[in-house]
Structure 1
């Protein structure tokens, strides 16, 4: 019985490793490429891919013979998203914000030292031909990531850079702890983060943190788009108010009680109010 259970577990792990080979960069793969990535033999891969194809988790292009993820994988992803209370609360808010501004609106969770995108909506001024859902991005090179980093203990931020996670994506990426500490202090003071060409050239964003019922920053919301459309020089105050208001609305939907200080109008958690 134990041997049978072990074989079943191994089969599941192998099937999952095959599905994990499909990425945005490599969305269509040959059997030989799947073998090379997983280290599994060709007969094993062929047999498992045939089962996954039959179940709808992969499909084969009749012309090229290449495999790609199938409709059953899409169904699972949709179920996962719809089971998230954050996603369900954010969807109409993000959609309305994208419509009002014409810019892109992104929602991402804090997970495993990275951002994990739950959804994005594109306004007329910032179109995309793909979805961000399921993608990840670095904390230090994004507005949403910096909004989340600003709420973390100093020890976490130090460890983040000490472990070599602060890679450069453009010449504008902040890769040193000292520089990031100054930026995070500014974010805490004003309640939102900005990012200008730190992850990709020609792009910028404004982002605000989202808090859970207990006051922990668990996610962030951003407005993003081309530099010319976001126009931080002329619209930063207007757009920052909009993204902070939307993020606060999401925090309230998650059960967080917002109280504003007379001086700064920044939201404080119940824990902060007690000190």
Structure 2
């Protein structure tokens, strides 16, 4: 009996290691490097070529990777997209926000985005382009920093000072000269968000871009997501349109919050 258990444990360990290695290969595909050769994966992982080839072949068979016959390069396959769709469709925030965000993009002609916080970064749940803010790629599934984005500040606005420090620490990287890089500056920005009910971002993450976001709350009153409109500085025209855009985005946030069970008179749980 003891020998049988030992063999089973060994088999499980080997199987688990193979799964971990196979999944780790997928992490080396990114927007910057969407296609990889097996030789690259060998170098990146430190695994033997026969091991990588075997794992890649298994991932191809299952649909997680696809090989271009002409170039020999591998890219992410349709099975990953299918699973991503399953995950999004199970998200209450995504279900409540998708149509609202789509309507917002159509009405204002700007990009409309919905994101939630994952640790010290935000994760885009959905994104729609407007004619004044076209993109050749989707933001859905991407992450971005909290301190340098309007959506990030809207997400952080539901946290107390100690919680913000626990999540963010005391200093943050600068992406432009306009980025807030210290804790006191971030707290001041969050106080402004709470007072106005929305957050703004003007060239804090990237030059030539602006964003306006409002927090989304769940049944308990906790901030669980943020919705925003974004685009170029000229398309957003915050000096001339800020009040108009803020009213629209706050209205969208309220619609999503209501769908999640939030009531305006509810007191957020501490």
Same fold flag (TM > 0.5):
yes
Q: 1:219 to 1:54 in 2, by over 3 A?
A: same
- 3-state DSSP of counterpart to 1:270: coil
Find 1:223's aligned residue among 191, 204, 229: 229
Runs of 4+ off more than 6 Å = none
- 3-state DSSP of counterpart to 1:195: strand
Correspondence 1:183-194 to 2 at 5 A: 183-194=189-200
Q: 1:271 to 1:129 in 2, by over 3 A?
A: closer
For normalisation by structure 2, the TM-score amounts to: 0.94
Q: 1:64 to 1:236 in 2, by over 3 A?
A: same
Correspondence 1:123-162 to 2 at 5 A: 123-162=130-169
Instruction: Check the 8 A contact 1:103/1:224 in 2, yes or no.
Output: yes
User: In the TM superposition, what is the alpha-carbon distance from 1:36 to its structure 2 partner?
Assistant: 2.0
Find 1:249's aligned residue among 244, 255, 258: 255
Query: Is 2:250 the counterpart of 1:270?
Result: no
User: In the TM superposition, what is the alpha-carbon distance from 1:182 to its structure 2 partner?
Assistant: 1.4
- 3-state DSSP of counterpart to 1:52: helix
Gaps in structure 2 of 5+ consecutive residues:
1-7
- The count of residues paired between Structure 1 and Structure 2 equals 263
CA distance in structure 2 between the aligned counterparts of 1:244 and 1:137, rounded to whole angstroms: 21
Correspondence 1:4-23 to 2 at 5 A: 4-23=11-30
User: In the TM superposition, what is the alpha-carbon distance from 1:159 to its structure 2 partner?
Assistant: 3.6
User: In the TM superposition, what is the alpha-carbon distance from 1:32 to its structure 2 partner?
Assistant: 1.6
- 3-state DSSP of counterpart to 1:173: coil
Correspondence 1:154-173 to 2 at 5 A: 154-162=161-169, 164=171, 166-173=172-179
CA distance in structure 2 between the aligned counterparts of 1:171 and 1:160, rounded to whole angstroms: 23
CA distance in structure 2 between the aligned counterparts of 1:87 and 1:181, rounded to whole angstroms: 28
CA distance in structure 2 between the aligned counterparts of 1:156 and 1:171, rounded to whole angstroms: 26
CA distance in structure 2 between the aligned counterparts of 1:158 and 1:73, rounded to whole angstroms: 35
Instruction: Check the 8 A contact 1:161/1:176 in 2, yes or no.
Output: no
User: In the TM superposition, what is the alpha-carbon distance from 1:39 to its structure 2 partner?
Assistant: 2.0
Correspondence 1:74-93 to 2 at 5 A: 74-93=81-100
Aligned counterpart, 1:212 = 218
CA distance in structure 1 between the aligned counterparts of 2:103 and 2:57, rounded to whole angstroms: 43
CA distance in structure 2 between the aligned counterparts of 1:74 and 1:271, rounded to whole angstroms: 36
Aligned-residue Cα RMSD (Å) equals 1.4
